[in-house]
Amino acid sequence: MELCVSRSSGLLNKNLSRPSQTSSAYSLVRAPVVSSRHRTFSFFKLRTPSREVHLLQPLPRSSNPRNFAISASSSSSVALGDKKDRLPADIQVKESEEPNCRVRLNVEVPPAVCDDCYKRVLTEFMKQAKVPGFRPGKTVPESILLGYVGKKNVQKATIESILQRTLPMACYGLGKISMYDEHLESRLLETSLHLALDFDESLLGSTLSLCRALRDSVRIVTKFSEMEQTYSSLNTLRYDVIVDVAPQVKWIPENGYRNLKIVVEMDSDIDAQRAYEQELRRRHKSLGSMKIVTDRGLQVGDVAVLDVSATTIDQDELNVQKIPSAESKGFNFDTEDGDKVLPGFLDSIMGIQRGETKSFPLVFPESWKQENLRGVHAQFTVACKELFYRDLPKLDDSLADRLLPGCTTLKQVEESLLQRYLEVELTAREQATDNAILGQLQKMVEVDIPQSLFEEQGRQLYGAKLLEIQANMKLNEQQLASLSSPKAVNEYLENQKENILNLIKQNLAVGDIYKRENLQFAGLQFSMDELVKEVENSIAEFKRQKQEYDEERVREQVQEILEGAKVLEWLREHAEIQRVTR
């Protein structure tokens, strides 16, 4: 499924150069090389978010229409392999600005170009059509060929040929493409013959393959029937093209990113020392055995099996209600996890014995996850069904290998676990810092985002999500088809619109910083070895996952990831960063 297929004209509904579909999720929703939101990506790992922004070069922004001609001189010819495809006459292109980062190109093709394309189409038909009474490859009189193939079909194929030759050059004249697709014309001629024998306007779509940047944004908005009428009556062709252009990033204040002041909120549980101690304790407890408590009440370190219920406390006893989310039967409560339950709960049941029931009031704090319970006064009733204590082996070197295979001393276990969690803490801090920086950048830029860019980014995110779901749940073909249907994708785009737009703003801001700082100081460059290595790693991962990939696309995205990494590294070094615990 193509991600951004124009429906404004029958001419751009299919990319004939795309490979055939497979049964994988990749063929249903084009997967991005990487995810745009996290530091760990779907197919290969780098430590910075990617900038999945593939844009056209910006056009000159002018409020007035601009006219220019694409001539047959060498300066305007476009490479076609080792040849030069020169137009026999000028095509006239009028440019005018449209809302939402779009430009309209009004293209007028003169009769000389139309005649040349007509002759090319006839020549190709002559080569491939098997006309009775004529050997293959032999010259067939035009009147006979038209009678066999059909004048109408030849006309349709000619219009397609004109579009194929002139549209790239019209965009090239605006600086939109740097080279001509050398396979375009051969695909055209093969397609034209097929269309002449079994015509279907929906197949006229190879113009989409002009180049990757244009594929999702070039839209011919003139109806095919209108082009047919103009060509028939005037022997010329006129058509309008709408193309998205690169958004212009405006910083408020100008160059404000150079003086960022960032407040980074860190979760309280992101603490390497605390996490290491909890992990060591967990591993030690796993080596012990549970024994029944018979002669005392509940103590810290015990495990109790509880039946819990709760009701709201209200002065009007008629309004007392049960709190279903606070009820639990056979709840295995580890007293060492007392900080994970409602504050005051552990203290209220301390000393409870097997078979005993306690009742006590508690108030849900304002920070409670369930909003409807915040500030609620509740009366809890807790019955202790069973009570256990742990019989743990002595924590010494003899347990080292059981605590962490490969270790011979307790000190080795402690150092290894602590090092792991220090790395986790560092990654979490960097991630939180990068998120805070990106969030700040997003607020500092004003930019109009083209619809094609929004749809591409959104569908890439949805594609990554779908691939993740498929990997975790092993979806069948019916489930996969349902999740990748246009309705499901459009619902995702609508529901996640704000998040997608914010992500695009972040990407554009990072890309603009990379361009600005390199132009002035050339300080954000990365080595070619880095690029080559990451491209090789990502391709190897695609192959391992048995996923289709476009090597050029992979290279582009890897380069963007590395650029983003350099920008975030530079911003961390130059920003004033304050970290607070929440």
Rounded Cα distance, 80 and 183, in Å: 8
Which has the closest alpha carbon to 231: 68, 106, 88, 108? 108
Residues 6 or more apart whose CB falls under 8 angstroms from that of 226 comprise none
pTM above threshold 0.85: no
Cβ burial of 317 (10 Å; 0-12, 13-18, 19+) is: exposed
pLDDT beneath 70, residues of the chain: 1-85, 137, 172-216, 269, 315-319, 519-523
pLDDT tens readout for residues 126-175: 888 788 888 776 788 888 888 888 889 999 999 999 998 888 777 765 54
* Helix 486-495 × helix 451-473 angle, to 10°: 110
Rounded Cα distance, 342 and 332, in Å: 15
Cβ atoms of 314 and 403 within 8 Å: the answer is: no
Which has the closest alpha carbon to 304: 387, 382, 383? 387
Place of tokens 């700040």: 440
Q: What is the DSSP letter of 45?
A: B
Indicate where the chain has its CATH 3.30.70.1050 domain(s).
Answer: 66-246
For the chain, the residue count is: 582
pLDDT at residue 69 in the model: 61
Rounded Cα distance, 46 and 51, in Å: 12
Structure tokens at 12: 């751009």
Which has the closest alpha carbon to 463: 70, 32, 174? 32
pLDDT at residue 522 in the model: 65
pLDDT at residue 196 in the model: 34
Rounded Cα distance, 219 and 241, in Å: 6
pLDDT at residue 113 in the model: 93
Residue 10 CB: number of other CB atoms within 10 A? 18
Q: What is the DSSP letter of 274?
A: H
Indicate where the chain has its CATH 3.10.50.40 domain(s).
Answer: 289-391
pLDDT at residue 414 in the model: 94
List the beta strands (DSSP E) in 51-115.
66-70, 78-80, 83-85, 91-98, 102-109
Residues 6 or more apart whose CB falls under 8 angstroms from that of 83 comprise none
CATH number of 289-391: 3.10.50.40
Rounded Cα distance, 247 and 101, in Å: 6
CATH class of 66-246: alpha beta
Give me the phi and psi of 329, to 5 degrees please: -110, 130
183's enclosing H/E stretch is none
pLDDT tens readout for residues 301-323: 999 999 999 999 875 556 678 89
Cα–Cα distances in Å, from 120 out to 81, 94, 125, 155, 412? Answer: 18, 27, 9, 12, 78
Q: What is the DSSP letter of 188?
A: H
List the beta strands (DSSP E) in 375-427.
377-391
Structure tokens at 351: 């000393």
